[in-house]
Each structure stands twice: as structure tokens, then as C-alpha cells.
Amino acid sequence: MKNVKKLFLVTALSFFAFRGYCQNLHLNFFGGIANYKGDLQYNPKGGKQISFKQPNFAAGIGLEYEISNKLYARLGIMLGKIGADDKKQPGQQQRNLNFSSPIFDVMLGAEYYILDPYTHMITPYIFAGAAYFHFNPYTFDAARQKVFLQPLSTEGEGFGAGRDPYNLSQFAIPFGGGIKLSLSDDVRVGIELSLRKTFTDYLDDVSTTYVDENILLAAKGQQSVDLAYRGDEVGAGPYPVTGTPRATLDGNDWYYFTGLTLSFRLGSGGGGGGGRGSGRKSKVGCPAMAR
């Protein structure tokens, strides 16, 4: 969690550093939903499609710096929550696993508008970059007590052969796109899909097979055994044989954000001049600068 606090501080300092270039800055707000693709959330007909089932709220704030009218540098923070429950997933009710996890995401990248937003009211855009995120999957036990899953090593991480512990703060590859409507040179609204390709299969604490029950009990205790296999809670039988698949998908997990955006240009000048309202005074108090 210390790394997350450091990222927040760096992002905040970056905002003040960018104020010297205020006329080229846009302040962005995001509101929408967060979701993920993994072993507890997938399309049973294909397994790789994006799903909008079991979503949670997400919000974000960020800055864009105009390099040109169509090319922007982008810095943003996203806060959200992901989760899924086998009880809501066709064909997986007997496994009976579930999880939730907060997501704290910091992204730095580039955004490209297909059309010049200063000469077109509606323009699609794409973006990509690098992200660093923090997650921490948890569930509720049979007594409805909140339990964080990573310390329990439910699949033998840390003591099972070839199963290393997973880190709760990692890098991801962000990319996506959307469409923005320019209400004026200073104000834009839009809709956006922002995806994250991760390098972990443990956003949901599910990845491989069931580890030996007795080994898990000796290493991590009864609570780990109880939460590694929860089929007995719905009458699905005893703990599975060692090596029985616990996961349903191959490959690493993804998470993604979908929602509405609102942006305000902090200064005037319109990204290189020639815009529809070039030279107007900022509506949010940042002084205009000569270009």
C-alpha cells in the first residue's frame, strides 16, 4: 500500500508541475463501471468476450496535455471495484467461489483524436500507455466475516511446486478508446472503454488447480482450506482430489472501465491555434498565455 501512496503523491505533484503549461491542459472526470475478465466472470459461449454482468462503480480524475490539436499526453487515476460470484455464473454454481477487490489504477499514456476536436464536434479517439495498479481480493466466510485471500495461499502459492506468491501491486498495459462531443473549445463530454491487460491470473485468487488439502491445512490452517473449496457449502461433495481444476480459463485476468467522461480546458488557445474559440479566456480561472 506504500507504493500506492507514493503514486498518488507523484500524480498530485505532476498536476502542479503542469500548471506552468495551463493553456494546454484539460482536466478530466470519469464516472461509470468497473469489471473484469477471469475465472469467475466470463462468457460461457466464448470465454474471451467482455462482459457487463456483475459490474461495480468506478470513478476517475486526470489531466491531458495538448501536444498538438490531435495528439495528447494523458495522466489519470482510477478508483473502482471488481468482483464476481459463481452463483451468478451459468454452470459454475457448484464451485461456489466469489471475490471482490478494490482497484487503484494510475495510468500514463498518449491519446490520439482521429479528427481534430477543434474543427469537428464529434470525434473518436484511441489511447495506450502504461499503468500501475493495486488490488486485494477478499471474500466473506460462512460466518459473513470479511477475509482477504492473498495471505491464505488458497492454491498453494508460496509452498506448492511452481506456485509463487502473487504481488498485490503490479504493472498493466492500458488501452482503449471512445467518442467525444465538443460542446465548446473548453468543454467536452464523451463515452469511453478503458481496458487493462494484466500480467497476473490472480485478480480473483483463482488460477490453477486444487492443492492437497492436508498440505494446505498444515501450511495455512483451516480457514484457507475452507475458502479454497466452498462446494461443500452447497452440497457439492467433499474437498476435490489434488490436481482437480479450480480455474475455468487459461491466460491472465483483465480489468476494464466503461463510462462517461467530462473534460474542461484549463486555459485558452486551443492546442496550436486555429481552433473554434482560440484565444478565449479560460472558464476555470487559469490565465491565458501568449502562444
Domains of the chain, residue spans:
2-265
CATH code for residues 2-265: 2.40.160.20
- pLDDT tens over the chain, length 291 residues: 555 555 555 555 555 454 545 678 999 999 999 999 999 987 666 555 677 889 999 999 999 999 999 999 999 999 999 999 999 988 889 999 999 999 999 999 999 999 999 999 999 999 999 999 999 999 999 999 999 999 999 999 998 777 899 999 999 999 999 999 999 999 999 999 999 999 999 999 999 999 999 999 999 999 999 999 999 999 999 999 999 999 988 889 999 999 999 999 986 544 444 444 444 433 444 444 433
State the number of CA atoms in the 13 A half-sphere of 130 facing the CB.
Answer: 2
Burial 129-146 (b: 16+ CB within 10 A, else e): bebbbbbbbbbeeeeeee
Quote the cell numbers at residue 48.
474471451
CA distance to 118, 136, 266, 288, per residue, from 281 (Å): 16, 45, 9, 6
pTM of the predicted model as reported, rounded to 2 decimal places? 0.84
Can you tell me which residue has the cell 465548446?
A: 184
Q: DSSP state, 266?
A: S
